[in-house]
C-alpha cells in the first residue's frame, strides 16, 4: 500500500480504524469459502491491501469517496460467515468491515430498524424480550450480521413459514453508491431486489428495516424414520399442517446424524431423522402424524430450554455441512431444489446412482408462498470433474442446482441478475464495488 494512501486514510478515519498488518488482512479477507474445495484452491491467496472499519455512515461515505477518487476496489464485509467468497477481495484494495455499525435503531410492531452490523443473535434476543422474534435467519445467526445475511444470504430457519429474503422479509434499506460524492438511497418494495443477495456489488447497505414476527414459544424434537423417503414425506405433510406453527423442518438421511457429536447419545443409529422446531403444545399432533407415517419421536428439547442449550437448528442448513467437515474434511456440498411433485423419484435415482457418495439433507421451505423442497446434499469430494458430473446428473433429472462452488452471482445463488446488473452500472460506474462477483457490461 502506498504511504500516501495510508496517510490520507488515517486522516479520514484515524489510525485505529485502518488495519495494515498481515494477520488482520489475511483474517478479514476470508469467509467460509473453504466449505468448497474448488473455492479453497481459487481464493486462498486473495487478500486486501488494507482493512477499514468505519464507525458510522459519514465514515462509510468518506471511504467510498476516497476509493472512487483513487480507483481502489472496495469489498464489504459483515461477519464473514458466507460460503461463496462473498467477502473475499478478488482484486485487493479495501475490505470495509461494517461490524461497528451495530446499533438497533427502532423496534415497532412487526419490524426492526437496525444498522447493518447488528448481529442476528443479538437482534433475536432483543426482539424476544419485547414479544417479537426474527422471521428468518441463517444457522450462523449468533455470528452473522443483518447486513451480511441480507446481502449474502437467502433463507434459513423460519423459511418454512416466511419464505426467503425476497418474500417481503426486507422492508427498507439505506444504500450508499460508489461515486465521487456517494448518494444515500432509501429503497423499498421491489426496488430492494438489486440489493438483496448482492454481495455488496450494487451499493453498500448501511441500514435495514426487516419484518419481525410475534414471539412463539418453540419446542424442538427429532423424529426418526427407517428411510429418507419416509422422512421427507412426513416433512411435507407437516409443512402442509397450517394449524401447527413451525420454524424448522429438516429431514436428513443416515449417516448424516452420525456427524453430530453433541447429539450422539440421543439420536437413533441407522435412522433417517427430521429435526423440528414447532410451537409449544403441538407435540401431540406432530407425534400422531409421525406415527401414522412410520415415524418415532426421539429427542425432545422443551420450550423452557430454548436458547439455553444447544439447539437443533445448530445442526441444520449449512451447519449440517460444518459438522460433517469437522469429522471428514473430504466432504463438500451442493445447493439444490427438488421438484415438489417428483422428489421421491429424484431421491431414488440419485441414491441408485451414487450411493453414499451423495448423502441427502433437505429443508422444507416456502418460496414465493409455495412449498418447496430445498436441499444441501453432502458430497464426498473426489475431484472437480467428478463434482460437476454429479451436478449434471442432478440437473438431467430435474433437480435445480444453485452452484456453491463459484463466487459469480449469475452462476450461483441468484438466477436472474438483470436488474442487479443495471443497478450496478448506475450506482458503481467505475466497477469498484467487489469487482469480479457479477458479470456485467459497464
The answer as to whether 428 is a domain residue is: no
Q: How sure is the predictor about 389, in pLDDT bands with cuts at 50, 70 and 90?
A: very high
CA distances from 138 to 144, 229, 295, 314 (A): 8, 25, 27, 10
Q: Which domain holds residue 286?
A: 218-333+336-401
Q: Measuring CA to CA, which residue among 134, 127, 129, 99 is closest to residue 115? A: 99
As a whole number, mean pLDDT of residues 406-411 equals 83
The answer as to whether 82 is a domain residue is: yes
Q: Measuring CA to CA, which residue among 433, 442, 422 is closest to residue 77? A: 433
State whether 110 and 85 are in the same domain.
Answer: no
pLDDT at 3 over 50: no
As a whole number, mean pLDDT of residues 176-192 equals 98
What CATH number has the domain bearing residue 198? 3.30.465.10
Task: From 97, 126, 147, give the residue that closes a domain.
Answer: 97
Q: How sure is the predictor about 418, in pLDDT bands with cuts at 50, 70 and 90?
A: confident
Task: From 214, 241, 257, give the residue that closes a domain.
Answer: 214
State whether 344 and 366 are in the same domain.
Answer: yes
pTM above 0.85, yes or no: yes
Q: What is the pLDDT of residue 416?
A: 65
User: 210 and 133 in contact (C-beta within 8 Å)?
Assistant: no
pLDDT at 263 over 50: yes
Average pLDDT of the chain is 96
Q: Measuring CA to CA, which residue among 378, 271, 360, 276 is closest to residue 321? A: 378
Q: Is 194 helix (H, G, I), strand (E, B) or coil?
A: helix
How many independent structural domains does the chain possess?
Answer: 3
**Span 35-92, pLDDT tens digits:** 999 999 999 999 999 999 999 999 999 999 999 999 999 999 999 999 999 999 999 9
Q: How sure is the predictor about 440, in pLDDT bands with cuts at 50, 70 and 90?
A: confident
> By CB neighbour count within 10 A (0-12 exposed, 13-18 middle, 19+ buried), where does 226 fall?
middle
The answer as to whether 152 is a domain residue is: yes
Looking only at the bridges linking them, the beta strands covering 246-252 and 272-279 are antiparallel
Task: From 65, 97, 129, give the residue that closes a domain.
Answer: 97
* Residue owning grid cell 459497464: 442
State whether 233 and 200 are in the same domain.
Answer: no
As a whole number, mean pLDDT of residues 243-272 equals 98
As a whole number, mean pLDDT of residues 185-213 equals 98
State whether 119 and 189 are in the same domain.
Answer: yes
What CATH number has the domain bearing residue 83? 3.30.43.10
Amino acid at each position: 500500500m502506498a504511504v500516501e494512501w495510508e496517510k490520507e486514510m488515517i486522516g479520514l478515519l484515524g489510525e485505529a480504524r485502518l488495519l495494515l498488518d498481515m494477520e488482520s488482512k489475511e483474517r478479514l479477507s476470508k469467509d467460509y469459502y473453504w466449505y468448497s474445495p474448488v473455492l479453497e484452491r481459487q481464493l486462498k491467496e486473495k487478500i486486501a491491501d488494507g482493512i477499514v472499519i468505519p464507525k458510522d455512515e459519514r465514515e462509510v461515505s468518506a471511504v467510498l469517496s476516497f476509493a472512487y477518487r483513487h480507483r481502489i476496489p472496495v469489498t464489504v464485509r459483515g461477519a464473514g460467515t458466507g460460503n461463496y467468497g462473498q467477502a473475499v477481495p478478488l482484486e485487493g484494495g479495501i475490505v470495509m468491515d461494517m461490524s461497528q455499525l451495530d446499533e438497533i435503531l427502532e423496534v415497532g410492531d412487526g419490524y426492526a430498524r437496525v444498522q447493518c452490523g447488528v448481529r442476528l443473535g443479538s437482534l433475536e434476543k432483543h426482539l424476544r424480550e419485547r414479544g417479537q422474534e426474527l422471521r428468518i435467519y441463517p444457522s450462523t445467526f449468533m455470528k452473522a450480521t443483518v447486513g451480511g445475511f441480507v446481502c449474502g444470504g437467502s433463507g434459513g430457519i423460519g423459511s418454512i413459514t416466511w419464505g426467503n429474503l425476497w418474500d417481503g422479509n426486507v422492508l427498507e434499506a439505506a444504500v450508499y453508491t460508489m461515486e465521487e460524492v456517494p448518494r444515500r438511497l432509501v429503497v423499498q418494495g421491489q426496488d430492494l431486489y438489486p440489493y438483496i443477495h448482492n454481495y455488496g456489488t450494487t451499493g453498500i447497505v448501511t441500514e435495514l428495516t426487516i419484518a419481525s414476527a410475534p414471539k412463539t414459544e418453540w419446542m424442538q424434537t427429532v423424529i426418526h424414520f427407517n428411510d429418507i423417503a419416509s422422512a421427507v414425506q412426513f416433512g411435507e405433510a407437516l409443512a402442509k399442517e397450517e394449524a401447527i406453527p413451525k420454524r424448522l423442518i429438516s429431514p436428513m438421511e443416515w449417516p448424516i446424524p452420525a456427524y453430530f457429536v453433541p447429539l450422539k447419545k440421543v439420536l437413533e443409529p441407522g435412522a433417517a431423522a427430521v429435526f423440528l422446531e414447532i410451537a409449544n403444545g403441538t407435540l401431540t399432533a406432530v407425534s400422531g402424524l409421525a406415527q401414522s407415517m412410520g415415524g418415532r419421536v426421539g429427542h425432545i428439547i422443551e420450550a423452557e430450554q430454548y436458547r439455553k442449550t444447544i439447539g437443533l437448528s445448530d445442526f441444520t442448513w449449512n451447519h449440517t455441512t460444518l459438522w460433517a467437515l469437522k469429522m471428514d474434511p473430504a466432504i463438500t456440498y451442493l445447493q439444490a431444489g427438488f421438484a415438489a411433485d417428483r422428489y421421491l423419484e429424484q431421491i431414488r435415482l440419485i441414491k441408485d446412482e451414487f450411493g453414499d457418495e451423495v448423502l441427502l439433507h433437505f429443508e422444507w421451505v416456502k418460496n414465493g408462498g409455495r412449498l418447496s423442497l430445498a436441499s444441501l446434499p453432502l458430497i464426498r469430494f473426489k475431484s472437480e470433474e467428478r463434482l460437476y458430473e454429479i451436478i449434471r446428473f442432478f440437473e438431467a433429472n430435474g433437480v435445480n442446482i444453485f452452484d456453491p462452488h463459484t463466487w459469480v452471482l449469475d452462476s450461483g445463488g441468484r438466477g436472474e441478475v438483470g436488474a442487479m446488473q443495471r443497478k450496478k452500472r448506475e450506482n458503481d460506474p467505475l466497477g469498484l464495488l467487489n469487482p469480479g462477483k457479477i458479470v456485467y457490461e459497464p
